């Protein structure tokens, strides 16, 4: 299964292609899940392009893909609220601090999909790295028999991480947006010799000087706990995570540091 919210792009297709390589049949769900949006405008304006999504999927396979596109009522049966989950604290870090209730919404829908579709394997992109860890935790805690496969971030040629929200970027923001990945790459370099605090200060400064992009957060965290790193350890793996506003569009990205 490849769960999506539609507005499919090359990044989604890469997940589907990987899933097709490893499975006979791939279910692609297309469902804009209302309970994971903390911002009403974002939910309303989220691109909905079912017809072209289906066309795009057909370019990959005409016989091995099932598109599952339920309505909100099919899923929530008149009660559009999320369940409460305990993800051992992963839900309180990063996105959890800025998007209240977001991971309860994600947990609710992904659990429901797994119960309905019963996939052997499910594929998720590392762009939403926190989501990926949370889904692994969901499956572990609720003993859902599905193997969660994380897939590398797919980028536009200018480095911008692919996202359905990119289609909503006005051209001047689109032009400016590669700055995000460029900054992440330089942060990775700096992390070789500098502390996480110093690197974060440098990133804050870069964005303070930028006249279009507004930094919401940048932090370097342990890849297992997602807790911000205080003292670097050679035994641990770290990633840098970033959320940026390009006008009203919120973009997130991350990079492995070691
Ligand atoms: O990553 C997404 O597109 C969504 O969060 C998901 C996993 C499809 C749940 O709605």
Ligand 1: nearest atom to the Cα of 135: 7
Please indicate whether residue 134, judged by its CB atom, sits closer than 6 Å to ligand 1: no
The alpha carbon of 63 and the centre of ligand 1 are apart by a number of angstroms equal to 24
Average pLDDT, stretch 54-62? 98
Q: What is the CA radius of gyration of the chain?
A: 18
pTM comes to: 0.96
CA distance 105 to 191: 34
Q: Has 210 been annotated as catalytic?
A: no
| pLDDT confidence of residue 203 | 98
Mean pLDDT of 106-118: 98
Q: What is the mean pLDDT of residues 126-145?
A: 98
The neighbouring-strand residues paired with 217 are 243
> In angstroms, what CA-CA distances link 47 with 40, 43, 157, 161, 256?
13, 9, 22, 17, 29
Q: Does the CB atom of residue 109 touch ligand 1 within 6 A?
A: yes
Indicate the pLDDT class of residue 22, thresholds 50, 70 and 90.
Answer: very high
Residue 94, Ramachandran bin (φ over 0: left; ψ between -120 and 50: alpha; else beta)? left
Distance from residue 5's CA to the centre of ligand 1 (Å): 6
pLDDT of residue 161: 98
Q: Determine the average pLDDT of the residues in 213-231.
A: 96
Pick the catalytic residue: 9, 12, 102, 172?
Answer: 12
The average pLDDT across 171-193 equals 97
CA dist 160 and 249 (Å) reads: 13
User: Would the CB of 110 count as within 6 Å of ligand 1?
Assistant: yes
pLDDT at 184: 98
- CB of 4 within 6 A of ligand 1: the answer is yes
Q: What is the pLDDT of residue 230?
A: 86
How far is ligand 1, taken at its centre, from the CA of residue 143, in Å? 20
Q: Is 14 in the pocket of ligand 1 (CB under 6 A)?
A: no
Mean pLDDT (the chain, rounded): 97
């Amino acid at each position: 299964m490849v769960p999506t919210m539609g507005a499919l792009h090359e990044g989604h297709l890469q997940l589907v292609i990987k899933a097709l390589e490893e499975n006979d049949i791939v279910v692609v769900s297309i469902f804009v899940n209302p309970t994971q949006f903390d911002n009403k405008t974002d939910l309303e304006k989220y691109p909905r392009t079912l017809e072209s999504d289906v066309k795009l999927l057909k370019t990959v396979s005409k016989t091995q893909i099932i598109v599952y596109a339920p309505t909100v009522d099919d899923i929530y049966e008149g009660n559009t609220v999320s369940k409460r989950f305990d993800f051992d604290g992963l839900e309180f870090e990063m996105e959890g601090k800025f998007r209240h209730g977001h991971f309860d919404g994600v947990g609710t829908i992904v659990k429901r999909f797994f119960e309905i579709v019963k996939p052997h394997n499910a594929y998720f992109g590392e762009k939403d790295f926190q989501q990926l860890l949370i889904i692994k935790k969901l499956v572990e805690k609720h003993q859902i028999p599905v193997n969660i496969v994380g897939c590398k971030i797919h980028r536009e040629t200018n480095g911008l991480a692919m996202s359905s929200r990119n289609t909503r970027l006005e051209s001047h923001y689109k032009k400016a947006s590669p700055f995000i990945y460029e900054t992440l790459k330089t942060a990775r370099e700096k992390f070789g010799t500098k502390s996480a605090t110093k690197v974060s200060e440098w990133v804050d400064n870069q964005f303070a000087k930028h006249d279009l992009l507004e930094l919401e957060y940048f932090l370097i965290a342990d890849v297992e706990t997602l807790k911000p790193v205080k003292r670097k350890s050679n035994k641990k793996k770290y990633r840098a995570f970033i959320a940026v506003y390009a006008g009203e569009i919120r973009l997130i990205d991350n990079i492995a540091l070691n």
